[in-house]
Structure 1
Amino acid sequence: MGEQATHQRIALVTGANKGIGRAAAEQLAERGMTVLIGARDPRRGAEAAAALRAAGGDAHAVTLDVTDQVTVREAARRIGAGFGHLDVLINNAGITGSGQVSPEDAYDQVPGSVDLDMVRRVFETNVFGVIAVTNAMLPLLRRSPAPRIVNVSSHAASLSLTSDPDGPFRALLPSAAYTPSKSALSALTVQYANELRKDGILVNAAAPGYVDTDSNNHTGHLTPAQGAAVVVRLATLGADGPTAGFFSEDGPVPW
Structure 2
Amino acid sequence: MRVEIWSDIACPWCYVGKARFEKGLAAFAHGDEVEVVHRSFELDPGRDKADIVPVAEMLATRYGRTPEEVLAIEETIAASARSEGLDYRAEGRDSGSTFDIHRVLHYATSQGRGEEMLNGAYRANFAEERSVFAEETLVAVAVEAGLDEVEVRKVLADPVAYADDVRADEREAAELGANAVPFFVLDRKYGVSGGQPAEVFTQALEQAWEARTLPQITTVGGSGHDAAVCDTDGSCAIPHAGAHT
- TM-score (norm: length of structure 1): 0.25
Higher relative contact order (CA 8 A, sep 6+): 2
